[in-house]
Structure 1
Amino acid sequence: MAQTAYEQIGGEAGVRRLARLFYETMDFLPQAAACRAIHPADLSGSEQKFFEFMSGWLGGPELYVAKYGHPRLRMRHFPAPIGPEERDGWLLCFATAWAEVAAAIPLRDLVMRRVVELAHHMQNREA
């Protein structure tokens, strides 16, 4: 029986690690400065919501949906100016964290392709 990406990265602990690494990377990576600038000073709330969303998105418990309802990601992010620089910074942070968490899982590349598609969908401003 095929495992979900959630299971392949170690379930809750793996997704928590992904969220932590993602936001740690955003805090120190110069290429993510534009993305970091549209986030609150304290990233703990963002990290928790990201963990809850990614849990369900990767095939685990739908924590975000249970707490907040349908994600409506584009609508919820529309107030934030997301242009190519913010999008690419976000993707770099995700790719960096994902490479560490999912280095040896079978679904690694498929998930990354879907994340790239999602990031492009979230862009709401031009350069």
Structure 2
Amino acid sequence: MKNLLSAAFVSAVLFTACSKKESAGFDAEQQAKIQYDTVAIDSFSTGAVSVDIARKIRMSSPQYLDSVKQAKKLQEEEKKLKEELDKEKQKKLEDEKKKTEAEKKQKTSDATPVNTGAKTE
């Protein structure tokens, strides 16, 4: 009997010790899950995009690059037009100078008396 009682006690201890319990891994899996932050990020919190980085992103966009190319083309066209206008103005000024010089020469040649060799007294 004594053996039977001790055997029952040992078997009860083994049953309780080896009984199926919730594993500790279940809690560990829940804790290991990634918690996603769904809170809006304002400009002062960590992870917010700085003004410089946002500017770089905007500047690298294809739309911005196209607008820069277009602006350069417009500037070049304006520069060419200005150069052409300046050349035309210079040509006009040179023509006017030549005309005025020719008129002065004509006036001076008309105003000078022609010596015919006859003396007048």
Whether these two folds match at TM > 0.5 is: no
TM tier, smaller: under 0.3
| TM-score, normalised with respect to structure 1 | 0.17
Q: Which has the higher relative contact order, 1 or 2, with Cα contacts under 8 A spaced 6 or more apart?
A: 1
Considering only CA atoms, is the larger Rg found in Structure 1 or Structure 2? 2
| TM-score, normalised with respect to structure 2 | 0.17
